[in-house]
A and B are shown apart, each in its own frame.
Chain A
Amino acid sequence: MTKYSRRSRAQAPLAGNVESPTTLICLVAWAVPGAGHLWQGRVSQGLVFMVTLPLMFATGLWLEGRIFFFDASEPLVALAAVANFGIGLLYLLGRVMDLGSGNAVAATYEYGNSFLIVAGLLNALVVVDAYDVSLGRK
């Protein structure tokens, strides 16, 4: 595996630095929140993401929120699905286990949706951060 150090990254041009480990790091960071940071030795950050984001997602499910399917005919649903998808494997796991069907009459339904959507968006930010770390920008 390529050894990443701040000095070697600073010397190499950014465009030529995008290697397969970077892509793999981003994929892993998306699939399991915090795994991209753990991989790159940022243990405390990785653990924070690994605990907080799934917990936020689980809270959204507990509040009877809905995991949205992508539906191009409904733009807002499609956007919510894209945001939900950001949480990675948990999205797929939720769909497979038939969780997140949502209960629109529950008082906490919209809260649940907010937790689920924001958890996905935050993980997208975490993936971008893992990408920056892998390129030596941070």
Chain B
Amino acid sequence: MASHFFLMVLFSCFVSVVFAALMRDKLEDQIRFGAMLFAAFLLTGVILGWLMYPIPL
């Protein structure tokens, strides 16, 4: 349940929803902006994860 990926998705979801409601007024724009933000969060997270993959921890 509390996997890293799930928590990243949950975090992205919360932040995207709040920012979409803050930054856009119309529902259509909010949905579009929120979806874009959510996708950007996930994509950035996955890309950074792969970039850090060779780093030994």
Q: Which residues of A contact B (CB under 8 A)?
A: 44-45, 48-49, 52-53, 55-56, 59, 63, 107-108, 111, 114-115, 118-119, 122, 125-126, 129, 138
Whether A114 contacts B11 by the Cβ 8 Å rule is yes
Having A49-B21, A114-B11, one finds 4 other A-B pairs with CB under 8 Å, namely A48-B17, A55-B14, A122-B14, A126-B22
The 8 A CB mask of B25-37 against A (1 = contact, 0 = none) is 1010000000000
Residues of B within 8 A of A108 (CB): 2, 7
Shortest C-beta distance, A95 to chain B (Å), equals 22
19 A-B pairs whose Cβ atoms sit less than 8 Å apart in the complex: A45-B21, A48-B17, A48-B21, A52-B21, A56-B14, A63-B7, A108-B2, A108-B7, A111-B7, A111-B11, A114-B11, A115-B11, A115-B14, A119-B14, A122-B14, A125-B22, A126-B18, A129-B22, A138-B25
Most chain B CB within a 10 A radius of its CB, from A48, A53, A119? A48
Residue B15 lies at the interface, judged by CB distance under 8 Å to chain A? yes
Interface of B is mostly: helix
Residues of B within 8 A of A114 (CB): 11
Report if A44-B18 is in contact (Cβ < 8 Å); known contacts: A63-B2, A63-B7, A118-B11: no
Residue B10 lies at the interface, judged by CB distance under 8 Å to chain A? yes
In the complex the two chains form, what is the Cα distance from A56 to B54 in whole Å? Answer: 32
Report if A118-B10 is in contact (Cβ < 8 Å); known contacts: A49-B21, A126-B22: no
In the complex the two chains form, what is the Cα distance from A129 to B18 in whole Å? Answer: 12
Tally chain B residues at the interface, Cβ within 8 Å.
Answer: 12
The 9 closest A-B pairs by CB, nearest first: A48-B21, A56-B14, A122-B18, A45-B21, A111-B7, A52-B17, A108-B2, A52-B18, A129-B22
Residues of B within 8 A of A56 (CB): 14
Residues of B within 8 A of A138 (CB): 25
